[in-house]
Chains A and B, each alone.
Chain A
């Protein structure tokens, strides 16, 4: 058993290492892009009319007179322990983002929990009934819906369910004082919108992943052995499509992240996405940095999981010669 798990383990470890490396590069990019900020960082905080003395004092206070590389490692070290610095408004970034992060995670994970299995099932259905009505219908409608701007989907959902039918509130301003039922009730429309946005992408890519496996000679061989089409998909194609499917699902979670930003704005949902947009408008750099780091880490994490799944599901690696 030791011998068998060895290549997988080493591959998985190297993937995790690569993931950490890209996170490091991303953090470098995020940190040093700030030094491109026109004018000094301190005068950006204090505004155009600050006296040179005030700017110098602020630079001293923020430790800006220290070398950039030193500040980078200090920032990174603090970020690793959950301290993301202080916003220009003077509050610790973590205090601003903490509760919002929880809200966003709730929103995104509920959506993902519904979207991923549903997308895989619909993708399989399309592949199984390739060229039939259900496939053509789903292919065309998902092609159309990936072309819709997220805010259009959001407003249509809002128009139908909040304005016309009045089933749900149009604003999803949840507060921690509300009970869980109330919070979930207010989340329904954002979740529905997000679901519609990412489902189309995922279904299309899952279908493509399965179909590319379906063109393998061993699938034709299974047909020639008299396997039914359903079993060809489930038993022959699916085990080999797990890796590709995991990759496309992870890739599509990028749409979840950008979707979250737009949808939080539309529904005034107190999440990280909205905080980021506010920070961009106010040019509150520490908050922007923190949000970017959070989203990038999430995305890199998803891809890492997908990589590990495709390594584990590959029989050639699982059962080496």
Chain B
């Protein structure tokens, strides 16, 4: 009798589920997904889309006005602004992406490990992370960069390490929640080793939460690299980067020209788009948890 009660539909394929998931997304999230796809397209195909080269000086007139030849005019050295904007997408996004994935890897591995091992090792790692987190990120980055110099690998490493503290915190907390559940205890009692438990029992359960954190942290990293470049200590010329493009052309703003703000708006739109998607995912994750 009780066995026959089963009203829930059988699971369907992952593709169909993803499709249903996207269909259930609210307008803001769908808009966000379209924008993310658009940015990805531009970033991947930058060399084919851009009318001129990344560092190519194409005009003798710096700060040239918008024209049919140079749709967004030229920059302070006479390079095509639109082309640099397009290459900037590639540089800014890829650097932020690499940094995010690196910090995600470091943070989550340590976090889950720390939660499962517990005891003195957990205490030491946690105290160290607390100390790293007790300095505002930007200040720490500025200090380290001034010592090691601002090369791209340095930039990626320092931001990845600092951001991994956030991943550590959240994955440790989430893993602790899961490890207190009976099925993890059952696995321990069964004689499973820590690696098996973290891969099979813990990770699948905290993944949705970590993925939405991943999106959010991508935004923060993307924004802080832009801020650093804007401050002149991030990505160095002649590489095109949105933050430094704003800085290099800032003089135009006082003349009422909005061109230098276009890269800043490009930054904002990507960050908004990602945040809209993440916000929806986060709501779903917390909703799922409430359902039990």
List residues of A whose CB falls within 8 A of some B CB. Answer: 22-23, 25-26, 29-30, 33-34, 36-38, 140, 143-144, 146-152, 155-156, 158-159, 162-164, 170, 254, 257-258, 261-262, 265, 276-277, 279-281, 283, 285, 288-289, 291-292, 295-296, 299-300, 303
Which 6 pairs between the two chains have the least Cβ-Cβ distance?
A: A147-B271, A258-B138, A152-B264, A147-B272, A280-B146, A25-B131
Residues B230 and A285 in contact, CB atoms below 8 Å apart:
no
Residues A151 and B246 in contact, CB atoms below 8 Å apart:
yes
B interface residues, how many (CB within 8 angstroms): 47
Among residues of B, the one whose C-beta sits closest to the C-beta of A303 is: B134
B28 within 8 A of A: yes
Nearest CB in chain A: distance from B102 CB, A: 21
Name the prevailing secondary structure of the A interface residues: helix
Nearest CB in chain B: distance from A167 CB, A: 15
The segment out of B2-10, B61-69, B174-182, B250-258 that lies at the interface is B250-258
CB-CB under 8 A from A283, the residues of chain B are 146-147
CB-CB under 8 A from B223, the residues of chain A are 147, 149
CB-CB under 8 A from A140, the residues of chain B are 28
Q: List 17 A-B contacts (CB under 8 A).
A: A36-B148, A38-B148, A147-B268, A148-B271, A149-B223, A151-B264, A152-B268, A155-B261, A159-B256, A261-B138, A261-B231, A276-B142, A285-B146, A288-B143, A292-B135, A299-B136, A303-B134
Among A148, A170, A262, A291, contact of B139 (Cβ-Cβ < 8 Å)? A291
Are A279 and B146 CB-contacts (below 8 A) given A149-B223, A149-B264, A149-B268? yes
A-contact bits for B234-257, CB 8 A (1 contact / 0 none)? 000000000100110010011110
CB-CB under 8 A from B139, the residues of chain A are 257-258, 261, 276, 291-292, 295-296
CB-CB under 8 A from A281, the residues of chain B are 232-233
Among residues of A, the one whose C-beta sits closest to the C-beta of B269 is: A147
B140 within 8 A of A: yes
Distance in angstroms between the alpha carbons of A155 and B226 in the assembled complex: 15
CB-CB under 8 A from B265, the residues of chain A are 152
Among residues of A, the one whose C-beta sits closest to the C-beta of B258 is: A159
Among B138, B147, B272, contact of A143 (Cβ-Cβ < 8 Å)? B272
Among residues of A, the one whose C-beta sits closest to the C-beta of B146 is: A280
B184 within 8 A of A: no
Among B142, B224, B250, contact of A288 (Cβ-Cβ < 8 Å)? B142
Residues A277 and B233 in contact, CB atoms below 8 Å apart:
yes
Distance in angstroms between the alpha carbons of A36 and B246 in the assembled complex: 32
Nearest CB in chain B: distance from A49 CB, A: 19
CB-CB under 8 A from B145, the residues of chain A are 280
Residues A29 and B131 in contact, CB atoms below 8 Å apart:
yes
Interface centre among A149, A156, A299 (most CB of B within 10 A): A149
Nearest CB in chain A: distance from B188 CB, A: 31
B137 within 8 A of A: yes
Residues B147 and A36 in contact, CB atoms below 8 Å apart:
yes
Distance in angstroms between the alpha carbons of A261 and B136 in the assembled complex: 11
